[in-house]
Structure 1
Amino acid sequence: MTEQLVGVDGVRAATAVSPADGTAPVIEVTDPVTGTPFGRLVMSSPEEVRDAVGLAHRHQPAWAATPPARRGRLLHEIAEEVRASANRLARLNTAETGRPFSQALDGVLAGAATLDQYAELAPVRGGRALLGDVAATDLMVPEPRGVVAVLTPWNEPVAVACGLIGAALATGNTVCFKPSERAPHLGRALGQVLCAPLPSGVLVRVTGDGRVGAALVEDPRVDLIAHVGSTAAGRRVLAAAAVRGAAVLAENGGNDPLLVDSDVDPVWAAGQAAIGAFTNSGQICTAVERVYVHRAVADRFVAALVDQARRYRARPRDTSEVELGPLVDVRHRAHVHGHVTQALDAGAEVGCGGVIPPGPGSSYPATVLTGCRPEMAVFQEETFGPVAPVRVVDSFDQALAEAAVDRYGLAATVLTGSMAHAQRAWRELPVGTVKVNDVFGGAPGGAAQPRRDSGNGFGFGPELLDEMTTVKVVHLGLPGDVANPEP
């Protein structure tokens, strides 16, 4: 079997790897639709990881000295390369993670748009002048952090990578890029596309699982780790970085609530809940993970939500149905089904779904659970699957109070016709983003700052440029005889 070994420069020759070779760890990817092998990639060795960081470290000063406008032009070129490769990247995404092609393509195009955004924003971004002595000048000047390790997830592999890498490069950092081991072929192809217009050593990439990620995090030449992934992995990153004082930008797991007030159309609200819970089979960072619905509209809401869930099909048969891709692999499906089974054993009821379908692959049906309680795993933890657990509450106050009790702090959605309730929700919910009457709403360039176990730092928007830089304070005084001339 011929494999591409992704090393420090991304252009190494293909290497023959036998399944029984055993000379280096191998990533094996299974098609989540068919359950058949898709491909194998050799992981980067510890030596290659060290070489990758060293290459980025050596080239960082020259890249930082490159005029920002020049860096911006190169980012625009990268964006065009991403668009030109969009279909190929989207097909690889579908093959490795099962994401429906149209959604995968949207993610690629969103990544290209983000690169264009940072190409425009970074060159016009400046520091701050301070008012002090009239005979002096005081400045706060942003400078690149140095080498940024970018560790990206499998559920939105292109858009997230383009955002973090684009912001890091635009501000003068060099980047070591490790894509998720669940989408390594896509990560390799994306790395090749992103590297094409850039000078050598500005963007280097490695392939591997958590062991390769740990090697990056622990390297003393890495100045900032930008990680998007699970909370467990995020904690390991934070712990390793804390030992040597490296900066960390992290978006971890979430357990986002959806609150349905008594004064909204329950059918419309069910449509919002279905979009939030079932899009990309629930494998979205800000997916709806738990639903609180007011008793006054609960029966009609649940009936409409069950009807919506039944329209999500692995293979749509007509235009009224929505494509539901598989979960990324059978290991993740076991996690999702475990949450459902635990809820049913604890007294919840299934409105639809909740059964592993026969046949190959890792498909899982859109599932609605009723009679859920706060102590159940589907309400306590991130399920990250097409599951909508519903809890009926007696008042908006109850919904707000229970939704706020959570160790995560990523996002929340509130469906209400009351401006007072909307105001209370965005003020009282301890999350980084509150969306009112639009489960996936948001303006272009919007920023997000997760809280608590969901991470730290701005992961999007112009504010991400601040995360990628550090500030140097400069006081420029005059020599004594100039500053205080004799009369």
Structure 2
Amino acid sequence: MRPRDRWMLAGGRWSQGTGDETFTVTDPATGEPLGVVAASSAADVDTAVAAARGAAPGWAATPAAERGAALHAAARAVEERMDELAALVTAEMGKPTGDALGGVEAGIGTLRQYAELGPLHGGRSLQGGRDAADFMVREPWGVVAAITPWNDPVAIACGLVGAAVATGNAVVHKPSERTPHTGAMLAELVAGCLPDGVLNMVTGGGAVGEALAGHAGADVVAHVGSTRAGRRIAELAARTGARTLLENGGADPLIVDAGVDPSWAAGQAALGCFANAGQICTSVERIYVHEAVAEPFLDALAARARNLRTGPGASPSTELGPLVDERHRTRVHQQVEKALADGARALAGARLPEGPGCFYPATVLAGCADHMAIMAEETFGPVAPVRTVAGFEQALEAANRSHYGLAATVLTRDMAHAQAAWRTLEAGTVKINAVFGGAPGGAATPRRASGGGFGYGPELLDEMTAVKVVHVQAAP
């Protein structure tokens, strides 16, 4: 069991670490402090990586079925404490309780998925001479540094850690400094089902992340988070030769075609823009609506924004919780104010509310243009910036005019348009007539500034392993 004042896990032992810096975590709904956390030092990162390096050979040699059984045990351990874990998510980043539970359930499912797929993951034989054997085998890289975000801290961590552990790697995990209590509890539950040193954890902000990403002992650096952080991680990993898996930010477009029901389309847009207060990697960040349905669509979207029930995530009636902290709220509001100054019109929201907490209203902006930062950059807040277009082709061109390429959504009744959309849109994921959803096991590679490499699905097991070609021939 982890002592409450210890925030570093290395080699199966929780400790206070050697760092002398602390930071305070606050509840974004009330501003009240949740706890004071000790940040890890560079020496602590060395210790955690060394522990992972020491555990890696033994874990790689463990039969895959045993590794799978350990992950199944970890999934059960998380499931037994899921209510507590979800409550920590809500307290630390404000996510409504139902959504927080959904994230934990997704994490449990991911652990089970990799527990089953890990033992089945292998190489292939090659067609060589009859006097020889040729085959390709997959082997763990060794040490995986996993740096995960605050917006879905359990599901994403379970994905990266689960895939790495299932394939025989040891892990050093750094959860976001905004959700350290969640990260520590998850590490306690999962590491308790694994041999000492297979899962280690360090805590802190950007300096700790840089020390881990640039560590010579890390073979793979897997990161989900902001574009700025992802670029810095890529730069640091390039110096050591570590493999990188990056899911950075996005400015995901939503196209609303002529002929769709504007009320239904507004519901999809509201879900895409306002779920989790817009703090989802694949949130809708910009909307292109056909002029034929623009007016009723905007009216319906603004009405939905005004009618969302805002409140603390712990309240059962809350539909729109707070943003994660005051710094992030300030950034979101600055983008909105800049858009208004550049000619956008606010149909809902766009004003800082009075009172405690980091709440921000669901905001709808009409008259937006592609050059505005609100359309070009990631906002990561409950903001729906809308540009009216004259035709579907114009919308496709505008949607592709971005340095991001994470995901995109198209709402249309025209199957020819749907076909053209998924063929044309330069994004890792294209969704037709649903802003969220999809079959289990889907995996895509982000494009351009949004990152690279598979971060989900069975393909993530490939990313966590190196391929070796073996040729065996009898001596003469």
Q: Mark yes or no: TM-score above 0.5.
A: yes
The aligned residue for residue 63 of structure 2 is 67
Partner SS for 2:5? strand
Counterpart residue type for residue 434 of structure 1:
V
Distance 2:154 2:14 in 1: 23
Q: Is the 8 A contact 1:257 1:290 kept in 2?
A: yes
The alpha-carbon deviation at position 28 of structure 1 amounts to: 1.1
Of residues 98, 106, 123, the one that matches 1:127 is 123
Q: CA deviation digits over 1:215-255, x for unaligned, max 9?
A: 11122111000000100000000000111211000100000
Q: Kindly indicate whether residue 8 of structure 2 is the aligned counterpart of residue 12 of structure 1.
A: no
Q: CA deviation digits over 1:148-196, x for unaligned, max 9?
A: 0000000010000000000000000000010000111111111111111
Of residues 226, 233, 236, the one that matches 1:237 is 233
Q: Kindly indicate whether residue 263 of structure 2 is the aligned counterpart of residue 267 of structure 1.
A: yes
Q: CA deviation digits over 1:411-465, x for unaligned, max 9?
A: 0000011111111111111110000001002101111210100000000000000
Q: Kindly indicate whether residue 278 of structure 2 is the aligned counterpart of residue 276 of structure 1.
A: no
Q: Kindly indicate whether residue 223 of structure 2 is the aligned counterpart of residue 221 of structure 1.
A: no
The alpha-carbon deviation at position 4 of structure 1 amounts to: 2.6
Q: Kindly indicate whether residue 301 of structure 2 is the aligned counterpart of residue 305 of structure 1.
A: yes
The aligned residue for residue 38 of structure 2 is 42
Counterpart residue type for residue 6 of structure 1:
M
Of residues 339, 345, 356, the one that matches 2:341 is 345
The alpha-carbon deviation at position 9 of structure 1 amounts to: 4.4
Q: Is the 8 A contact 1:270 1:305 kept in 2?
A: yes
What percent identity do the matched residue pairs reach? 57
Distance 2:85 2:8 in 1: 17
Distance 1:84 1:367 in 2: 38
Q: CA deviation digits over 1:313-357, x for unaligned, max 9?
A: 2139xx997610100000000110011000000010001000010
Instruction: Name structure 1 gaps, 5 residues minimum.
Output: 16-21, 481-487
Which stretch has the larger CA shift, 106-115 or 215-224?
215-224
The aligned residue for residue 360 of structure 1 is 356
Instruction: Name structure 2 gaps, 5 residues minimum.
Output: none
The aligned residue for residue 48 of structure 2 is 52
The aligned residue for residue 379 of structure 1 is 375
Q: Is the 8 A contact 1:252 1:455 kept in 2?
A: yes
Q: 1:5 to 1:222 in 2, by over 3 A?
A: same
Q: Is the 8 A contact 2:146 2:174 kept in 1?
A: yes
Partner SS for 2:402? coil
Distance 1:87 1:27 in 2: 26
Q: Is the 8 A contact 1:8 1:49 kept in 2?
A: no
Q: CA deviation digits over 1:276-316, x for unaligned, max 9?
A: 00000000000000000000000010011011112222139
Distance 2:251 2:390 in 1: 22
Aligned length, in residue pairs: 471
Q: 1:322 to 1:34 in 2, by over 3 A?
A: closer
The aligned residue for residue 466 of structure 2 is 470
Partner SS for 1:3? coil
Counterpart residue type for residue 387 of structure 2:
R
The alpha-carbon deviation at position 14 of structure 1 amounts to: 6.8
Partner SS for 1:55? helix
The alpha-carbon deviation at position 3 of structure 1 amounts to: 2.8
Q: CA deviation digits over 1:36-57, x for unaligned, max 9?
A: 2221110112221111100100
The aligned residue for residue 287 of structure 1 is 283
Q: 1:95 to 1:137 in 2, by over 3 A?
A: same
Q: Kindly indicate whether residue 30 of structure 2 is the aligned counterpart of residue 28 of structure 1.
A: no
Distance 2:352 2:34 in 1: 22
Q: Is the 8 A contact 1:311 1:322 kept in 2?
A: no
Q: Kindly indicate whether residue 428 of structure 2 is the aligned counterpart of residue 426 of structure 1.
A: no
**TM-score, scaled relative to structure 2:** 0.97
**TM-score, scaled relative to structure 1:** 0.94
The alpha-carbon deviation at position 115 of structure 1 amounts to: 0.4
Q: Kindly indicate whether residue 459 of structure 2 is the aligned counterpart of residue 457 of structure 1.
A: no
Distance 2:5 2:47 in 1: 20
Distance 1:10 1:404 in 2: 48
Q: Is the 8 A contact 2:12 2:196 kept in 1?
A: no
